[in-house]
Chains A and B, each alone.
Chain A
Amino acid sequence: MTKFIKKEDLYKLLNSFLKDFEIIGPKQIANKGIFYEPLESIEDLYLGELFAIEPAKKFFLESSECLFHSGFLDGKATVQDAPLPDKRRIIIGLRPCEAKGLILLDKVFDSEYKDRSYINNREKSVIVGLACAKPDKSCFCTSMDGSPTGSRGMDVLLFAVEDGFIVEIYSDKGKEAFSSLGKEPDEHQNKTLSAYKQKRSELIGKNFKVPGDLSPIFESDYWDKVSFPCLSCGVCTYLCPTCHCFELVDEGRKMYRCNDGCAFSNFTLEASGWNPRPTKKERYRQRVFHKFDYFKKIFGENLCVGCGRCIRHCPVKMDISEIVSNAPSGAGK
């Protein structure tokens, strides 16, 4: 279903949802950037060209959440699951890469293993995406089987056009929220939309093919060379729409699941004191292999959506797309 809605009418509609839904969308913070936040006022909603620094992943796989707590009830030791939030949410402004990231996370947290809180967050959310008007030089979604106008993972997708948005509605959740609004797009608007879809992919500068099998070059000293600048911080991991490694931390009587990253030097530090990934070489290689080899071999797709955040925000400008596309021959097709 496709509709056209004027910008003011979209904002009015979102306002009307505020009583029943939490509305989470990008907000511009002066001199800092764009951040997803629960919006108290729809006027704060930013639907412009700049990308949010952190992806919307944290509203599904939280950066830090209590899983369960232990205690005593009537003299007996108990373990209780933490309560799950009940409120429905509209998460608006996600880019196609972020929504695709959720589909990839579903393969881990909602398939053979069912993660209680992740699934609850997924069920309670309506995903209203925003197609990208202006990819930047770090973007490479098209090399990851994606597109700036991709609809995978979206309930609804907005395309910014003159004075409003063309709204494509894909799911029942989306219909429930949005079908009452707007009108059929007119011919001019339809033409604009086709041109939009066609042109957007051309704006993506990076284009490369990931080797099918990296295992032949696991021992290569290529990884020594390319990992040199890495600081072993967590920026690429925490800003990635698909990274999902975590640690469990016992605090008082509560068990917390907190995000973690393979780049950190003690990520694989074992209780014995031995660390199988003692240097940047092993750790950076792990990042590349997890995303572009292991995950692909198990789940059929690269664990990367080409959003470019890791490149855009890396403090030393490492570029995983260059590193993967320059991988030495010896990597299998």
Chain B
Amino acid sequence: MIEELRNKARELLKTKQVEAVIGYQRASDGLSAIPCVIRSEEEAGRLIWDAACVYNLCGYLKDFRAKKLGIVAKACDVRAMIVLISENQLNRDDVFIIGMECCGVVDEKRARVSGRDGSDISSADKCKSCASCVPLAYDCLIKEKREKAKVSEDADKDKYEPVRKLEAKSLSEKSKSWKDEFKRCIRCYACRQVCPMCYCPRCVADQFMPVWFSKAGGIEGNFSWNVARAMHLAGRCIDCGECERACPVGIPLRDINRKIEKDIKELFGYEAGMKTDAKPFLACFDKNDPEDFIK
């Protein structure tokens, strides 16, 4: 697959179909990947493809507005692009999607916090409920030729089971458990920066007059920050899991986002990024939308 990918990148650059290709290269530790941009055929040899290619690269597209770019994309990454296109943040014509058939990515953070050195790394949680290894949209597809690892055998199970378990807890249990999580939040905003759907040029969290999410004492500000971000992602989050992966202090952010995702799916039958022509969820209505809340 790697050679096919590199050759495709070379071809795209040689024929000037794209100005650059955004992909992954090997990180300094020899195991992980690091995002990279390739601007010439000679550099294409840097591109890699394996289970370390965790990151969602869509965030780098905004560095190159109005230029045509190639991008190495997994199925989850393409869902993010579908949402960005529906929100007019990306022109479909400006991006050449090199779709990668993905068998799952690793969760090196889990290995690290338990002290293993990375040689025994399990598949990320988000991959276990992934319905499809093949992206929904692409300009070319690089298929997996080896025998596939069984990453989506759980795809038929209820992916919201962990959310339901949390919902079933009592209010005081939930309150205590979230307080314990949010007291560790250091407001690094890694969750926001890594999220493909967080693209506001000036985030509400960065505004001063007034300060919307205080950092002054207590954890109210941490609560409001995390909940506000989840609400801003309602109907837009595609569960790429990057926020939870990026969080240095291990806050289970996917639990919050998936709760909202589940509610929207069950109430409105809508899933972000699954249909290339879908309109943004909160930007439109359907006459069949449930109205039980209006009495």
Chain A residues near B (Cβ < 8 Å) = 29, 31-33, 35, 49-50, 53-54, 63-64, 66, 136-138, 228-229, 231-235, 237-239, 249, 251, 254, 256, 258, 261, 264, 266, 280, 311-313, 315-319, 321-322
Q: Are B28 and A319 in contact (CB under 8 A)?
A: yes
B155 is an interface residue with CB less than 8 A from chain A: no
Q: Are B186 and A233 in contact (CB under 8 A)?
A: no
How many Å from the CB of B126 to the closest CB on chain A? 15
Contact of B216 among A33, A234, A235, A254 (CB under 8 A): A254
Can you give 9 contacting A-B residue pairs, CB < 8 Å? A54-B248, A64-B217, A66-B216, A239-B248, A258-B215, A264-B206, A266-B202, A321-B28, A322-B28
Q: Which of A49, A66, A234, A261 has the most C-beta atoms of chain B within 10 angstroms of its own C-beta?
A: A234
Residues of chain B contacted by A264 (CB below 8 angstroms): 189, 206
How many Å from the CB of A46 to the closest CB on chain B? 11
Given that A63-B186, A231-B190 are contacting pairs, would A32 and B249 also be in contact in the complex, using a CB cutoff of 8 Å?
A: yes
Contact mask for chain B residues 190-219; partner A; CB cutoff 8 A; 1 contact, 0 none:
101110000000100010100100111100
Complex CA–CA separation, A324 to B36 (angstroms): 18
Q: Are A317 and B32 in contact (CB under 8 A)?
A: yes
Residues of chain B contacted by A29 (CB below 8 angstroms): 250
Q: Are B29 and A318 in contact (CB under 8 A)?
A: no
How many Å from the CB of B180 to the closest CB on chain A? 9
Q: Are A228 and B113 in contact (CB under 8 A)?
A: no
Given that A228-B37, A233-B190 are contacting pairs, would A64 and B216 also be in contact in the complex, using a CB cutoff of 8 Å?
A: yes
Contact of B246 among A49, A235, A322 (CB under 8 A): A235
Q: Are A233 and B216 in contact (CB under 8 A)?
A: no
Q: Are B194 and A233 in contact (CB under 8 A)?
A: yes
Contact of B184 among A32, A137, A231, A258 (CB under 8 A): A32
Q: Are B214 and A251 in contact (CB under 8 A)?
A: yes
Contact of A33 among B34, B113, B188, B208 (CB under 8 A): B113
Complex CA–CA separation, A321 to B32 (angstroms): 16
Chain B residue with the shortest CB-CB distance to A136: B117
Complex CA–CA separation, A228 to B61 (angstroms): 11
Residues of chain B contacted by A49 (CB below 8 angstroms): 115
A54-B249, A317-B34 known; 19 other A-B pairs, CB under 8 Å?
A: A31-B110, A53-B249, A64-B217, A66-B216, A228-B63, A229-B36, A231-B246, A233-B188, A235-B246, A238-B187, A238-B188, A249-B216, A258-B216, A266-B202, A266-B206, A315-B245, A318-B34, A319-B27, A321-B28
Complex CA–CA separation, A233 to B245 (angstroms): 14
Contact mask for chain B residues 108-138; partner A; CB cutoff 8 A; 1 contact, 0 none:
0010111101000000000000000000000
**Chain B interface, >50% SS class:** loop
Complex CA–CA separation, A3 to B149 (angstroms): 54
How many Å from the CB of A239 to the closest CB on chain B? 6
Q: Which of A64, A239, A264 has the most C-beta atoms of chain B within 10 angstroms of its own C-beta?
A: A64
Q: Are A66 and B217 in contact (CB under 8 A)?
A: yes
Complex CA–CA separation, A138 to B28 (angstroms): 9
B281 is an interface residue with CB less than 8 A from chain A: no
Complex CA–CA separation, A311 to B194 (angstroms): 16
Residues of chain A contacted by B223 (CB below 8 angstroms): none
How many Å from the CB of A195 to the closest CB on chain B? 23
Q: Which 3 A-B pairs have the closest CB atoms?
A: A32-B250, A315-B246, A234-B188
Complex CA–CA separation, A258 to B193 (angstroms): 20
How many Å from the CB of A86 to the closest CB on chain B? 18
Q: Are B217 and A233 in contact (CB under 8 A)?
A: no
Complex CA–CA separation, A311 to B112 (angstroms): 13
Residues of chain A contacted by B248 (CB below 8 angstroms): 53-54, 235, 238-239, 313
Q: Are A249 and B249 in contact (CB under 8 A)?
A: no
Q: Which of B36, B242, B249 has the most C-beta atoms of chain A within 10 angstroms of its own C-beta?
A: B249
Q: Are A233 and B193 in contact (CB under 8 A)?
A: yes
Given that A234-B189, A238-B188 are contacting pairs, would A31 and B29 also be in contact in the complex, using a CB cutoff of 8 Å?
A: no
How many Å from the CB of B111 to the closest CB on chain A? 12
